[in-house]
Chains A and B, each alone.
Chain A
Amino acid sequence: MASGFSAYLRRDLLLAYRRRGEAASPLIFFVMVSTLIPLGITPESARLAEIAPGIIWVMALLATLLSTDSLFASDYQDGSLEQLLISPQLLAMPVLGKITAHWMVTGLPLTLASPLLGLMLSLPAEGYVPMMASLAIGTACLSLVGSVGAALTVSLRKGGLLLSLLVMPLYMPVIIFGSATVQSAIDGFAWFGPLAILGAMLAAAIALCPLAAAGALRLTSIN
């Protein structure tokens, strides 16, 4: 059962490695768009520092959303999804493997690159550790929730927009508590509270989202 998880994790990481350019695009998007903020709003560090936590979180969310679309798309097109659906193993484990690979290719690099953006947006020093911790946990939630939307829209030719509409409302709690973690740390309050809530969301998402995505894949395969 667990072998389905690790087999798909390894395969998707290998596929991402073979298409490095494509896999790097969410990260490049994240950095590029965040660079526009000081240009568009103000280069004044005092004002930038105020909005930095929110901006970084919104950009991370959009960057993740950008890549969620492709989670099952290529498997659907080349027929390997069909093979997965008729394999004897429990469908949720391979799906969780794919989601984990997706997080390692998008969420994790975003987390690691975020201090650079913090510097660019004059994020106060006490915000860095909470930002990275909340991004690491939060982007995993985003990948998990996004997988359900991706599974539901996999058979649509232009499912990208519908996918955004489906998963955006579910992303809201993540961004609220994610940026709250960073904001509380900057304001000098304890930041473990919002982070713990993010952790609770992740625990729930790990338990439920692979099952929901697996169910959605079976549903879309009917047509």
Chain B
Amino acid sequence: MPNTPLLAVERLQFERDDCNVFEQIDLTVGRGEIVQIEGPNGAGKTTLMRLLTTALQPTSGNISYAGQDIGLCRYEYLSDILYLGHQPGVKMTLTAEENLRWMAADSSRSAQDALAAVGLAGYGDVPCYNLSAGQHRRVALARLLTTDARLWYLDEPFTAIDKQGVSFLEKCMSDHVKGGGAILLSTHQDLAIDGVRKYGISPHADQRGL
């Protein structure tokens, strides 16, 4: 089904404490597309990401994956997504390599290669409590190189990483969409990649103190 979008969101609404978080969301993400979610702080970007990853249940609306409701193909959908949230999910007492092995257990690419690619060559045996915040991010970003997931959800992926890291991540993202993957990311920075589609979300009237 080449014409069905990979991800389709229809009339999505989410209520927290009886207040809508954002204006209704209608969004499609096709294969080979990068969609950048924009909006002021508190607009609900992270909430949207968490709704899409099924960590939260929407109040109303549909999310479908390759034409099928995600409630009906939960296993296939969750096996095919990768989510990088605000917290990197890195265990402080494990080494960088153990963390990566753990996060990408069924990967074909070796953990050492991936760590070298994100600029952590030689740090494989260092416990993560000895690494900096930016290096923790890099450990988490190394997952992008080892994953087979087609749909990436990146929530503020550029936090705490340096310029080199940013250009590495951009290259990684454009490689992924060239291979037929799709990316939904939230960031306030402008990306140096062509063909990024922007999607603005705004806080619902309930949230503006009315």
Contact = CB atoms under 8 A, between A and B. Distances in A.
Contacts of B103: 83
Contacts of A86: 53-55, 78, 81, 83
Contacts, number: 53
Given A18-B94, A88-B74, A222-B56, A82 B79 contact: no
B91 A15 contact: yes
A215 to B, nearest CB: 13
A82 B49 CA distance: 12
A90 to B, nearest CB: 10
Contacts of B55: 82, 85-86, 221
B147 to A, nearest CB: 12
A78 interface: yes
A18 B95 CA distance: 10
Given A15-B93, A18-B93, A78-B88, A83 B83 contact: yes
Contact of B87 (A15, A18, A82, A87): A82
B102 interface: yes
A82 B85 CA distance: 9
Nearest to B143: A83
Interface residues of A, number: 19
Contact of A78 (B54, B83, B87): B87
Nearest to B54: A86
A118 B55 CA distance: 48
Interface string A79-120: 110110111100000000000000000000000000000000
A176 interface: no
B74 A78 contact: no
Q: Which among B79, B93, B94, B105 has the greatest number of chain A C-beta atoms within 10 A?
A: B93
B92 A79 contact: no
Contacts of A74: 91
Contacts of B75: 88
B89 A14 contact: no
A7 B105 contact: yes
A79 B91 contact: no
B29 interface: no
A14 B98 CA distance: 10
18 contacts: A7-B105, A14-B94, A18-B127, A19-B93, A77-B87, A78-B90, A78-B91, A79-B87, A80-B90, A83-B83, A83-B103, A85-B55, A86-B54, A86-B83, A88-B74, A88-B75, A88-B79, A222-B57
Interface of A: 7, 11, 14-15, 18-19, 74, 77-80, 82-83, 85-88, 221-222
